[in-house]
Amino acid sequence: MEDFSIIILFLFVLFVLLGSGVWVGLALMGVAWVGMELFTSRPVGDVMLTTIWSSSSSWTLTALPLFIWMGEILYRTRLSEDMFRGLSPWMAGLPGGLVHTNIVGCTVFAAVSGSSAATLTTVGKMSIPELRKRNYPETMVIGTLAGAATLGLMIPPSLTLIVYGVTINESISKLFFAGILPGLVLAGMFMAYVAIMSKVSKNWNPTIEPGMSFREKIQNSRFLLPVILLIVLVIGSMYLGFATATEAAAFGVIGSLILAASQGSLSWKTFSESLMGATRTSAMIALILAGAAFLSLSMGFTGLPRGLADLIAQMELSRFELLMALLVFYIILGMFLDGISSVVLTMAVVEPMVRQAGIDLIWFGIFIVVVVEMAQITPPIGFNLFVLQGMTNHEMGFIARAGIPMFLIMVLMVFVLIAFPEIATWLPNNIRQGPG
């Protein structure tokens, strides 16, 4: 019972701070401060400073601002227009037509941007007007974009996987490789849904695209070449063992600057805007991580993580039952917190449980990301819903309903991962790792 009293105290302080408008990172530090004052006699200020410094000075964490900067640079290029021109000739002939450009476009951009919001905005600013012009069903246009944009959280370079890896001290490169196949499988499931709906929906009556010869399709594909080269540079350098995640991120920044310059999109204004955008996002995530590190230490002094892990062990839950409990827990939590905050806030308690159950932590990282993806499209705090509302001027309820099928597909993806764990573990177990 003592463990539950501590949990209730921590949650009460956390929700009071969050409810009063305090930043998430500072709210986590506030909860940790209360815990340290109540459960230890150590000098809280000294411990906090040491913990914040050690969490912020991690070499692995340097990949984070670099990947964010790469995404910010690409967001300000003509990449979305080029991607649509390159993809649309190949997608037009598939069942479901050009709606597939939402999914494939998000999958491609996710491979050069670790952010769901950046993926959504970049692909959506070009595809939404084009698909509307061709009379595709609005719910399908909005829903597929909301769902497919979440692939930015899974397909490397994923900011959520970087944060997860830093939090549990796991290899970022291994986590990146683990995200590739599940990301492609999930994209395939989205495309299968679109294909089925195009055959059974009565509202599916888009404008037929003019035919293109194979040669014309190949010519249009040249617009995809820059982003494909960038993907090969970033992912390939890690895949071949030439670079760590941090070094690959540096290559990506250089490549994106070259791409922006070659398109004529690179000016002092776009350069400074991308740099400031990356700085703001990186600082926000770093503050959350620092708060989470201090909270983890504070909770460690209470013995809460180990106590809960022992409690779970005594309940003798099967591996599947534990995962179902965590699935429901993270879906509920995701209704109120963004993905990165959900991961860092809970990992101090969840990690011992997962280790106790013998669950592979690389696989569990992908499980967490799929569930966190759902949080991006669940009201009331689904971030992708807010972005889409700003882009389309639809009511939040309409956007949320359009995203329900994508949410259910992600739930199905969780069961696919549980049934076939090799989807997430095969690549990291069979790929040569970069130095360091």
User: How many Å apart are CA 19 and CA 67, to the nearest integer?
Assistant: 31
Whether 391 contacts 145, CB under 8 Å: no
Positive or negative, the CA dihedral 422, 423, 428, 432 is positive
pLDDT for res 144: 93
Quick one: pLDDT at residue 38?
80
3-class DSSP assignment, residue 245: helix
Residue-level pLDDT at 154: 87
The predicted-structure confidence for 183-212, as pLDDT tens digits, reads as follows 999 999 999 999 999 988 887 888 777 777
Nearby residues of 209 by Cβ (< 8 Å), 6 or more positions away: 88, 92, 97, 98, 134
Write out the two tokens for 315. Answer: 């309940």
Give dist(CA 306, CA 310) in Å, integer.
Answer: 6
Residue 80 and residue 126 in contact, taking contact as beta carbons nearer than 8 Å: yes
Structure tokens at 307: 């106590």
Please give the model's pTM, rounded to 2 decimal places. Answer: 0.80
Q: Which residue has the tokens 């719910």?
A: 139
The total number of residues written for the chain in this structure: 436
Please give the angle made by the CA atoms of 220, 184 and 321, to the nearest 5 degrees: 160
Residues 114/281, Cβ–Cβ less than 8 Å? no
Query: Which of 346-375 are b and which e, b meaning 16 or more Cβ less than 10 Å from the residue's Cβ?
Result: bbbbbbbbbeebebbbbbbbbbbbbbbbbb
- Please tell me the predicted confidence (pLDDT) of residue 189: 96
What residue ranges of the chain have pLDDT lower than 50?
1, 434-436
Tens digit of each residue's pLDDT (9 = 90 or more) over 120-156: 888 888 788 888 888 899 999 999 998 998 888 888 8
- C-alpha distances (whole Å) from 315 to each of 4, 254, 341, 343 are 15, 52, 28, 24
Q: What is the pLDDT of residue 435?
A: 47
Structure tokens at 219: 């010519």
Three-class SS state of 247? helix
Separation CA 91–CA 221 (nearest Å): 12
- DSSP annotation string for 86-116: HHHHHHTTSTTGGGHHHHHHHHHHHTT---H
pLDDT of residue 392: 84
